[in-house]
Structure 1
Amino acid sequence: MAAPSSGGRGLTGEELLALPAVIDLDTANKALMIGRSTGYGLARQGEYPVRVLRLGNAYRVPTAELLKLLGLEKQADVGDDVTGDRTESHALAA
């Protein structure tokens, strides 16, 4: 997946929350505002700030872990059930 074009800056919160479940290392580097060489070096040394998956010759980063590091975790709506339908809460009469 290519990183959204945002002209030399990191990604916005909105862009981060729109990312798929797993992203390439270049996109993660952009989100963390670190250079490509630094990011790949950290990944090779096992020192990247979040877990990096090595899939063949490719590095992948779980987006949930990146969002957690950045304090942007996606949160499920408490009123949603498993199907995504809103459940109604009824106040009990005293």
Structure 2
Amino acid sequence: MSRDELLALPTTTSVESAARALGMGRTRAYDLAKRNQFPCRVIRIGVSYRVVTADLHRLLGLGRFRPRRAVKIRVERTRGVGNPRDGDR
């Protein structure tokens, strides 16, 4: 599957399409999906399985979807008036 084909995929795609993009067979892909071991997020709708395309893009390293970066938040503790834990009794 070419890069352009991968980028043209809808929001979710079939397990067969994801398997083709990953170079694995259909049977192996469904087996992994059923055991919750598929390398991308899989959504089960009734008896069908759909693969989240953004996860597939991230796994394949396509630049269009960048992984989220962790953000550090600094929390400063302030002393509250009348808070028994702060020693103001």
Identify which of 28, 40, 46 aligns with 1:50: 40
Q: Which residue of 1 aligns with 2:29?
A: 39
In the alignment, the residues of structure 2 paired with residue 50 and residue 75 of structure 1 have an alpha-carbon distance, to the nearest angstrom, of 14
Does the 8 A contact of 2:41 with 2:52 survive in 1?
yes
The amino acid of 2:7's aligned partner reads L
| 1-structure distance, mates of 2:32, 2:51 | 13
TM-score by length of 2: 0.70
RMSD: 1.4
**Aligned residues with identical type, % of pairs:** 45
Number of residue pairs aligned between Structure 1 and Structure 2 = 66
More helix by share: 2
Distance 1:58 1:74 in 2: 27
CA distance change for structure 1 residues 73 and 57 in 2, over 3 Å: closer, same or farther?
A: farther
- CA shift in 2, pair 1:56/1:30, >3 Å: same
Aligned counterpart in structure 2 of residue 24 of structure 1, from 4, 9, 14: 14
Asked whether the equivalents of residues 40 and 55 of structure 2 are also in contact (C-alpha less than 8 Å), the reply is yes
Alpha-carbon deviation of 1:73? 4.0
TM-score computed with the length of structure 1 as normaliser = 0.66
Structure number, greater radius of gyration: 2
Q: Which amino acid aligns with 2:8?
A: A
Gaps of 5+ in 2: 67-89
- State the Cα distance separating 1:74 from its structure 2 match: 1.7
